[in-house]
Structure 1
Amino acid sequence: MMSSSGGAGSNRMSASCLVAETVWKDIESTHKVNDDQLWTLHFLFGKNFEGATRIVDQRGVSKISAHPSGRFIFQVRGESRRKEQYLCFAENFCACYSFFYDVVNRREQLCCKHQLAARLAASLGSYAEVKVSDEELALLLSTI
């Protein structure tokens, strides 16, 4: 969550984060999404949410889980023709350009579409499961 030192925009972002978190928890509890939840998430995230739903619909999210620690990261396929794969933590990081430009630098978005796709897929239980060793996950994370 963003600090309140950034003025009125930051307060709006904080309220948006709280609303989004409530919706995510509701979806996680049922593994289903209804029209009101879709509308709310679209209102909060706009075109990024549209992209996220396309990615989830195309089965573009994998959860990479390490054994024995249980640590995990999501790998999300991009929408461009190149079909890049982005590593991301759904709630606070993505390796894509948009995350650094729109979310971190300009603070115009709460998160990128890859983070949203990971969160939506996780909430619905709609992702491919990939099991790796802790060492393999560490090696993968070292590429970020």
Structure 2
Amino acid sequence: MSACNLVAEATWKEIESKRSVTDDHLWTLHFIFGKNFERATRIVDQRGVKKISGEPSRRSIFQVMGESRRKEEYLCFPENFCSCYSFFYDVVNRTEQLCCKHQLAARLAASLGAYSEVKVSDEELAMLLSKL
């Protein structure tokens, strides 16, 4: 794990433990993630993150609103995957970013508890995931 990833992970854990964000946290995450983090904070501020949880398993995935006029929604595992184009192009293919803005928005919302929660059956969650 890179030094940036270690610092980011420590920052996320501190935000989670306090359920609040300080200016130092914001500065650190902005330094590591740049404009993607700015965009992620806008998504969270606009209440654009949902946590979809399957019942009874409690497995979950995040659904994050895009910023475009079309208001697309992307399925996202904050630390590993997003269904958006930028994830595949900038993160996976070109390795120019550590993660996309949707992953950051999901991680920030999860750390702060700033998401709406939608409960579905495990079957419905499986159908949603099968579309990936």
The normalised TM-score by structure 1 is 0.91
Between the two proteins, the alignment pairs up a number of residues equal to 132
Q: Equivalences for 1:71-110 in 2 at 5 Å?
A: 71-110=59-98
SS at match of 1:140: helix
Give the whole-Å Cα distance in 2 for the aligned partners of 1:66 and 1:129: 11
Asked whether 1:119 is paired with 2:107, we answer: yes
Match of 2:130 in 1: 142
> What runs of 5+ residues in structure 2 fail to find an aligned partner?
none
Give the whole-Å Cα distance in 1 for the aligned partners of 2:4 and 2:84: 22
Match of 1:35 in 2: 23
- 2:29 maps to a residue whose letter is L
Match of 1:58 in 2: 46
- 1:20 maps to a residue whose letter is A
Q: Equivalences for 1:3-42 in 2 at 5 Å?
A: 14-42=2-30
Give the whole-Å Cα distance in 2 for the aligned partners of 1:106 and 1:18: 22
Percent of aligned pairs with the same amino acid:
80
SS at match of 1:115: helix
Report which of the two structures shows the higher radius of gyration computed on alpha carbons.
1
Match of 1:9 in 2: none
Task: Return the offset for 1:15.
Answer: 1.1
Superposition RMSD on alpha carbons, in Å? Answer: 0.6
Give the whole-Å Cα distance in 2 for the aligned partners of 1:68 and 1:57: 30
Task: Return the offset for 1:118.
Answer: 0.1
The normalised TM-score by structure 2 is 0.99
- 1:111 maps to a residue whose letter is C
- 1:29 maps to a residue whose letter is S
> What runs of 5+ residues in structure 1 fail to find an aligned partner?
2-13
Asked whether 1:49 is paired with 2:37, we answer: yes
Task: Return the offset for 1:97.
Answer: 0.3
